[in-house]
Structure 1
Amino acid sequence: MYYKWLDRWDERRTRRRDHDKTVTGLELDTDLAFPGARSSGGAEEFYRLAEQAVTDSSSFFGLDDALSQASRDDHWLSFPSSIVTETIENNTVRAKLTTAGASKHALVVFHHWNATSRNPQLAKFFSWRGFAVFEIAMPYHLERARPGSSHADYMLCPNLGRTVRSIRQAVVDGRQLIGILRRDGYEKISVLGISLGSWVAGLIAAHEPVVNKASLFLTGGSLADMVWTGSATRHIRASLEDSIDLAQLRQAWAPLDLESYTERLARPGLDLQMVVAGRDRVVLPNLSKHLIERIEHAGAKPTVKWVNCGHYSLSLPTYTLGAGISASRFLNA
């Protein structure tokens, strides 16, 4: 009886924003995804460039030679994104610092899709456990929201090129912040990502060698599969399925697929934790399981915590406290 109630509660949370999510249609916008590409190259050109981006992912997710100068104001840090978009607000990155002392261990937190605020409880909990917590705003969220938008529709959407650019921007912004923190004297850097933020944190962990621990909550390997099968992205699938199938979407979004980089995620010096909700209908548990198996096949042994709840019910005190304690122990080990 309890779990039936829990599943219904999760489904209601999933549908809470459905009235803001409209069905549109497929758009490629290849030039948004791949700098220097032609916008009129067609789907096959998009797939070719996506494959090329995976092959040369160090460049695709790479940084400029010089780090941006960061501005500081009390507990806030801001700097210009090196990927410039048409949304002015989105071009400045802001991160909030919560710390209980002079910790030299920075924890960079990447929030979930459509987050409308940072998580002070999470930040206070991890600062109490000895971290300097930096909650970064991902593209088109929080201070970076697109004026007039009801949700972060430019971060994850039926526009394939815009989605690739947004995730790439989130990764590059995160790596830029990590570089700034290293320059500021932080000796140890870890990342924690939640839901869509876990894809960003995972991509950063795969490409940023100074990250030695990554805790990924509610994650999977294939972003394409998550969108195609997840309850929170039904409108995106409905927008796409008359034009492309799942196999083609996997090709297009291969640069965003954590399974494209399992060898990197299994690199020496990186410890991975995954927190998986066994009743999740947004990121289906089999997507998490498949990623875990691929990483193990590459030679690593991620720490895995299975929780018998749904995607949104992980935020309930019954489950979130256990997950938080597990993550803090892992990150502090």
Structure 2
Amino acid sequence: MFQKLYAHWMYRWETALTTRDENRVVRPVEWGFDWLQDFIDRSGFSRKVFEAEQNPAKSEETMLALNDAIIADSEAFFGYTSPSDFHLEERHPQLFPTNVRPETLAQDARLKQQAVLGKLKTAPFLRFTSPVRTPYPENDLVNARWYPASHREAARDKPKQAIIVMPQWNADAFSHNALCSLFNRFGISALRLSKPYHDIRRPAELERSDYAVSSNLGRTISACRQAVVDIRCCLDWLESQGYEQFGILGTSLGSCYAFIASAFDARLQVNAFNHASTAFGDVVWTGQSTRHIRAAFEQAGMKQQQLFRLWSAISPVSYMRRFAQHPKKVLVVHATYDLTFIHEYSEEVLRSFSELGIDYVSKVLPCGHYTTGETPFKFIDGWYLGSFVYSAFRSLAENPLAPVKPAGLELAAH
């Protein structure tokens, strides 16, 4: 009886949090082949895409084939040439809110005023040009707030360690900064990476980070590709600074990006996935926070299984075996009453990890997706994430993992 009452209360609370923002926009469905033009040209899909543009009835078939081609040639799709313009920039932190609630706008105004009055300290940000280009120059200039661990906190007798932090979809620029400061206390440096179309990278025409996930199929795939490549570039910079051991923490959409980056980069040996799921399309279709995107697809007559396949190229399930090729320490946190990443999909991740022999720890929060950020659950989640990262890096320092590529592992989904 109590469990049912608790569940009812939690679902009401979760729904209230996911429906308080009124600036979600239902946009028309677009195939977005133009966002993947370089891969289309290189993989010989130009003719098929041209035919699809002339005959829209072939568009779905062509996009499905393109997803299959991306998965088959994923090493090239998520490959990159490391940037040559890495540099640190000092500036005042800004909030870059994604909602128009009065309290958020007031917080933004206070921070700007503090900066003008000289009461807000500047902070270092890593900037470089993303190897994946889009029509938006502001999006292509990557931004990552830099939290270097002090020499006092970083032990001299252990390898230099760093973690990349990827917050949730539509996160403002202050989200997850407290975690970075916490990791510094452990002697671990942190790069808090702004995802494509987020905070300072967000095009001026947007109130929210809509272009990262939207009813434009190709643009959403492109955003994931860019995020994965940007993560790998950050690792290159960290290596150039003398760092030797690396981890990544991703929340929600950030966990999807983090997982795929780790599947393609053996350097990421500590992995914390805060809310995880197997398939990108399933989350968008069933998630409460993406109901406006589902509405667009439903208006176009699409079903969940179609969306599952149309975004298979950016779904963790497509790269599970690749992820398992190299030893990693992994944490998966999911929530029992999650209405955005429903728990069935998170449990599929855990089953896949068990089947593949991945070394993972599972933690379950007694709340939902959005309520994870509320008291007391944010403290429980912070404890899970912080204690795991601390112990995983400590273990890594004492017993480094040697990357091993087992023979005979398939790279495609099954």
TM-score normalised by the shorter chain: which range applies?
A: over 0.9
Query: Per the alignment, in what secondary structure is the counterpart of residue 319 of structure 2?
Result: helix
* Deviation, structure 1 residue 3: 5.0
Alignment of 1:225-244 (within 5 A): 225-241=282-298, 242-244=300-302
Q: Provide the rounded CA distance (Å) in 2 between the counterparts of 1:3 and 1:252.
A: 33
**Structure 2, unpaired ranges of 5+:** 41-45, 53-58, 91-123, 155-159, 393-414
Count of residue pairs brought into register by the alignment: 331
Q: Provide the rounded CA distance (Å) in 2 between the counterparts of 1:15 and 1:152.
A: 17
Which stretch shifts more, 285-294 or 317-326? 317-326
Q: Which amino acid aligns with 1:297?
A: E
CA contact (8 A) 1:68 1:176 kept: no
> Residue 62 of structure 1 corresponds to which residue in structure 2?
79
Q: Provide the rounded CA distance (Å) in 2 between the counterparts of 1:326 and 1:115.
A: 20
Distance 1:243 1:35, change over 3 A: farther
Q: Which amino acid aligns with 1:68?
A: S
> Residue 47 of structure 1 corresponds to which residue in structure 2?
64
Which stretch shifts more, 41-50 or 160-169? 41-50
Query: Per the alignment, in what secondary structure is the counterpart of residue 24 of structure 1?
Result: coil
Q: Provide the rounded CA distance (Å) in 1 between the counterparts of 2:227 and 2:62.
A: 24
1:116 aligns with 2:172: yes
* Deviation, structure 1 residue 325: 2.4
Alignment of 1:289-328 (within 5 A): 289-328=347-386
CA contact (8 A) 2:64 2:309 kept: yes
**Structure 1, unpaired ranges of 5+:** none
> Residue 195 of structure 1 corresponds to which residue in structure 2?
252
* Deviation, structure 1 residue 99: 3.4
1:16 aligns with 2:20: yes
Distance 1:300 1:30, change over 3 A: same
* Deviation, structure 1 residue 321: 2.2
> Residue 139 of structure 2 corresponds to which residue in structure 1?
90
Query: Per the alignment, in what secondary structure is the counterpart of residue 330 of structure 2?
Result: strand
CA contact (8 A) 1:33 1:161 kept: yes
Distance 1:249 1:34, change over 3 A: farther
Q: Provide the rounded CA distance (Å) in 2 between the counterparts of 1:123 and 1:131.
A: 9
Query: Per the alignment, in what secondary structure is the counterpart of residue 189 of structure 1?
Result: strand
Q: Map Cα deviations across residues 45-74 of structure 1 (whole Å, 9 max, x no partner).
A: 11111111112211111121x433211134
1:222 aligns with 2:279: yes
> Residue 73 of structure 1 corresponds to which residue in structure 2?
89
CA contact (8 A) 2:83 2:129 kept: no
Query: Per the alignment, in what secondary structure is the counterpart of residue 269 of structure 1?
Result: coil
> How well do the aligned residues superpose, as a CA RMSD in angstroms?
1.7
CA contact (8 A) 2:328 2:359 kept: no
> Residue 38 of structure 2 corresponds to which residue in structure 1?
35
* Deviation, structure 1 residue 223: 0.7
Query: Per the alignment, in what secondary structure is the counterpart of residue 249 of structure 1?
Result: helix
Query: Per the alignment, in what secondary structure is the counterpart of residue 72 of structure 1?
Result: strand
Which stretch shifts more, 306-315 or 29-38? 29-38
Q: Provide the rounded CA distance (Å) in 2 between the counterparts of 1:177 and 1:26.
A: 33
CA contact (8 A) 1:129 1:328 kept: no
Q: Provide the rounded CA distance (Å) in 2 between the counterparts of 1:309 and 1:129.
A: 28
* Deviation, structure 1 residue 34: 5.0
Query: Per the alignment, in what secondary structure is the counterpart of residue 247 of structure 1?
Result: helix
Q: Which has the larger radius of gyration?
A: 2
* Deviation, structure 1 residue 2: 5.4
CA contact (8 A) 1:275 1:307 kept: yes
